[in-house]
Amino acid sequence: MIFELLAFIIGLVYGYVKPGKEQRWELFKKGIMYGIILGVIFGLIGFFVGGALFFAATAIGIFIEVVFLVIIFIIGTFIGDVLEAQFKKA
């Protein structure tokens, strides 16, 4: 729960501080790329510790978690953009 909250808060701040609309599709594509990379890295660590089954479970789990965190981050950037438009307009 702490990582989800942290991703949301960071996305909120990122959306508020960075001027203009964020390229959410580009953020999502980067998140998927990072998810694949982290999944393979942690999966390989799991392979050496627990075997092939642990590799698959770890790689898929890390990928899903990173994509989930990226989606929460993007929701935070959307809300940050809305707040930026409201508060910096005045």
Pair 77, 69: CB distance under 8 Å? no
Residues 51-77 have pLDDT tens digits of 777 778 888 888 888 889 999 999 999
Question: Residues of the chain whose pLDDT is less than 70?
Answer: 90
Residues 11-28 as b/e (b if ≥16 CB within 10 A, e otherwise) read bbebbbeeeeebebeebe
For residue 56, give its domain range.
2-87
pTM over 0.85: no
Instruction: Determine the pLDDT at residue 90.
Output: 59
Q: Domain tally for the chain?
A: 1
* Spatial separation of the C-alpha atoms in residues 48 and 63, rounded to whole Å: 19
Instruction: Determine the pLDDT at residue 72.
Output: 92
Q: At what angle do helices 52-87 and 24-50 cross, to 10 degrees?
A: 160
